[in-house]
């Protein structure tokens, strides 16, 4: 692969999307001396408050995209649903990483699962459903009981329905407005893990330590690092994620979610073409964070060390925590090893990601126990 000229501190970087991931990218980039422009249609986007400039416009507004290209030396993305066509338009003018093609794969579960399988990596058995006529006993026999997932625009368990029969698939498909879906076999999970990695424009890959993820209601709740899985399982997960990044010719920070089955097999669940919620522990527990790596990869600079400095547990702070009023921040901060990250969102709605706490401790079990204590004291228990 051709080496690119590095974009040095002092330059201006752009980010498509102004959510919390964009905000943390802004913080990392500014810490390294870059200026950052955020493009997001929301006036109160969390990243806009931190950025040097905010282009408040739709993601497919051609004038805004051209303006972003004029102001920036390179552009990255913080969420996968940025129209790939917008990234292509930017890429005709300036450096864009990850590429529109890589983002397009992650935007569509049909393309994504097919790409992963074609790369020779294990995925859960799935059936592609374009229309109701595709719902037949032959096609779906191997994937029931299953989970019906919309091909596009699903996140945090949204756009998913558990189904146990063909009739249930038909009903759920109609309920999802008949948009293209995949029906995935429901598998028996021993645990879920993720590998967050960075890949440079020179093809170098640096993987962060494997995280063990616990979800509640389809939303990530806790990540424990190092994952409490065998060394062989962890090595397999890292190997699979690395293969995938290389097959995608990926440049930037990539999140790879994997299933560890009860029979020991490791399957890829999905990928995120951006920093990942399960990689937030890297802000406090590794030499470089996933956001540092995103900046470095985008700028064509050497990637940093992903080495773990301390076992850690990341606890997501959901809006639900505000049900009984403002969480008890002083009590949480009194816990040794806890570091608080809040995204500056005004409305604490249930199911909304408001922030996270990273808790460092002597080992993974102690970090998990300490994170549970933080959760309890925040809620005033
Ligand atoms: P999202 O884009 O919403 O994160 P995922 O496909 O990752 O969608 O699904 C969310 C969660 O639902 C997963 O992390 C896992 O806990 C559970 N899940 C998804 N697919 C399966 C499956 N095929 N079998 C068992 N559990 C699943
Ligand atoms: Mg997921």
**Closest residue by CA, ligand 1 atom 11:** 218
So what's the pLDDT on residue 116? 98
CATH for 189-378 (3.90.1150.10, 3.40.50.1370, 3.40.50.1820, 3.30.470.20): 3.30.470.20
Torsion angle, alpha carbons of 30, 105, 259, 313, to 10: 10
Q: Is 194 helix (H, G, I), strand (E, B) or coil?
A: strand
Farthest CA pair distance, the chain: 60
CA 218 to ligand 1 center in whole angstroms: 7
Contact 211, 281 (CB under 8 A): yes
In short, whether 215's Cβ falls inside 6 Å of ligand 1 is yes
Quick one: which ligand is closest to 189's CA? Answer: 1
Half-sphere exposure of residue 37, counting CA atoms within 13 Å on the CB side?
20
Which helix H or strand E contains 213, and what residues bound it? strand 211-216
**Cα(94)–Cα(16) distance, rounded to whole angstroms?**
14
Q: Report the residue among 185, 218, 274, 353 best suited for mutation to probe ligand 1: largest number of ligand atoms under 8 A from its CB.
A: 218
Q: Options 3.20.20.70, 3.40.50.10860, 3.30.1490.20, 3.90.1170.50; which CATH number does 125-185 get?
A: 3.30.1490.20
pLDDT of amino acid 54: 98
Ligand 1 atom nearest 257 alpha carbon: 7
Which pLDDT score, from 0 to 100, does residue 3 have?
63
- Give the C-alpha separation, 128 to 110, whole Å: 7
**Whose C-alpha lies nearest to ligand 1, atom 5?**
157
Of 107, 160, 269, 278, which is best to mutate to test ligand 1, by the most ligand atoms within 8 angstroms of its C-beta?
Answer: 269
Q: What integer pLDDT is reported at residue 307 of this predicted model?
A: 98
Pocket perturbation via mutation, ligand 1, pick of 157, 188, 213 by most ligand atoms within 8 A of CB = 157
Is 112's C-beta closer than 6 angstroms to any atom of ligand 1? no
How far, in Å, is the centroid of ligand 1 from the Cα of 300?
34
How confident is the model at residue 91, as a pLDDT? 98
What is the C-alpha R_g of the chain? 21
Distance 160 CA to ligand 2 centre (A): 11
Helical (H) or strand (E) element with 333 = helix 329-333
Angstrom distances, CA of residue 77 to CA of 47, 87, 109, 306, 353: 12, 9, 19, 21, 19
Tell whether ligand 1 has an atom less than 6 A from the beta carbon of residue 156. yes
* 9 pocket-lining for ligand 1 (C-beta < 6 Å): no
- CB 187 less than 6 A from any atom of ligand 1: yes
This prediction has a pTM of 0.97
Distance 156 CA to ligand 2 centre (A): 6
Tokens of 82: 């940025």
Helix boundaries (H) for 38-147: 46-50, 62-71, 84-91, 100-107, 109-118, 137-140
C-beta contacts of 173-178 below 8 A and 24+ residues apart: 173/129, 173/132, 173/135, 173/148, 174/132, 176/148, 176/150, 178/131, 178/132
User: Which residue owns the Cα nearest ligand 1 atom 24?
Assistant: 186
User: Of the ligands numbered here, which is closest to the C-alpha atom of 184?
Assistant: 1
Antiparallel, parallel or unpaired: β 146-150 and 95-96: unpaired
Atom of ligand 1 lying closest to residue 220 CA: 14
89's tokens: 């338009």
**CATH architecture of the domain with residue range 12-96:** 3-Layer(aba) Sandwich (3.40)
Name residue, tokens 């063909």: 166
In whole angstroms, give the CA distance from residue 260 to residue 223: 15
Atom of ligand 1 nearest to the CA of 146: 23
Residues 18 and 24: their CA atoms lie apart, in Å, by 10
Segments making up each domain of the chain, as ranges: 12-96, 125-185, 189-378
Is the shortest distance between the CB of 269 and ligand 1 below 6 Å?
A: yes
Q: What is the pLDDT along the chain (381 residues), one digit of tens a residue?
A: 456 799 999 999 999 999 999 999 999 999 999 999 999 999 999 999 999 999 999 999 999 999 999 999 999 999 888 999 999 999 999 999 999 999 999 999 999 999 999 999 999 999 999 999 999 999 998 999 999 999 998 777 788 999 999 999 999 999 999 999 999 999 999 999 999 999 999 999 999 999 999 999 889 999 999 999 999 999 999 999 999 999 999 999 999 999 999 999 999 999 999 999 999 999 999 999 999 999 999 999 999 999 999 999 999 999 999 998 999 999 999 999 999 999 999 999 999 999 999 999 999 999 999 999 999 999 987
Ligand 1: residue whose CA is nearest its atom 2: 155
């Amino acid at each position: 692969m051709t080496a690119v000229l590095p974009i040095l501190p002092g330059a201006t970087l752009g980010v498509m999307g102004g959510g919390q991931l964009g905000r943390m990218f802004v913080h990392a980039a500014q810490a390294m001396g870059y200026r950052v422009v955020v493009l997001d249609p929301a006036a109160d986007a969390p990243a806009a408050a931190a950025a040097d400039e905010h282009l408040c416009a739709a993601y497919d507004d051609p004038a805004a995209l051209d303006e972003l290209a004029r102001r920036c030396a390179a552009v990255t993305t913080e969420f996968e649903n940025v129209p790939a066509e917008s990234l292509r338009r930017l890429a005709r003018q300036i450096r864009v990483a990850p590429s529109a093609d890589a983002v397009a794969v992650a935007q569509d579960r049909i393309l994504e699962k097919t790409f992963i399988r074609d790369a020779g990596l294990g995925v859960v058995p799935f059936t592609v459903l374009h229309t109701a006529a595709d719902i037949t006993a032959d096609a779906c026999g191997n994937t029931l009981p299953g989970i019906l997932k919309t091909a596009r625009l699903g996140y945090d368990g949204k756009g998913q329905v558990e189904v146990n029969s063909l009739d249930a698939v038909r009903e759920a498909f109609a309920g999802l407005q008949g948009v293209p879906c995949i029906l995935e076999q429901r598998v028996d999970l021993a645990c879920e893990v993720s590998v967050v990695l960075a890949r440079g424009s020179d093809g170098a890959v640096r993987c962060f330590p494997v995280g063990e993820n616990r979800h509640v209601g389809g939303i990530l709740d806790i990540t424990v690092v190092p994952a409490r899985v065998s060394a062989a399982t962890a090595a397999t997960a890292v190997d699979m994620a690395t293969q995938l990044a290389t097959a995608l010719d990926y440049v930037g920070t990539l999140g790879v979610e994997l299933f560890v089955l009860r029979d020991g097999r490791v399957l890829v669940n999905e990928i995120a073409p951006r920093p990942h919620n399960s990689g937030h522990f890297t802000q406090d527990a590794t030499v470089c964070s996933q956001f540092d790596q995103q900046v470095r990869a985008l700028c064509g600079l050497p990637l940093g060390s992903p080495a773990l400095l301390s076992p850690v547990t990341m606890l997501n702070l959901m809006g639900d925590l505000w049900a009984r009023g403002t969480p008890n921040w002083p009590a949480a901060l009194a816990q040794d090893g806890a570091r608080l990250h809040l995204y500056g969102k005004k409305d604490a709605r249930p199911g909304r990601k408001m922030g996270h706490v990273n808790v460092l401790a002597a080992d993974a079990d102690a970090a998990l126990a300490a994170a549970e204590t933080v959760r309890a004291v925040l809620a005033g228990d």
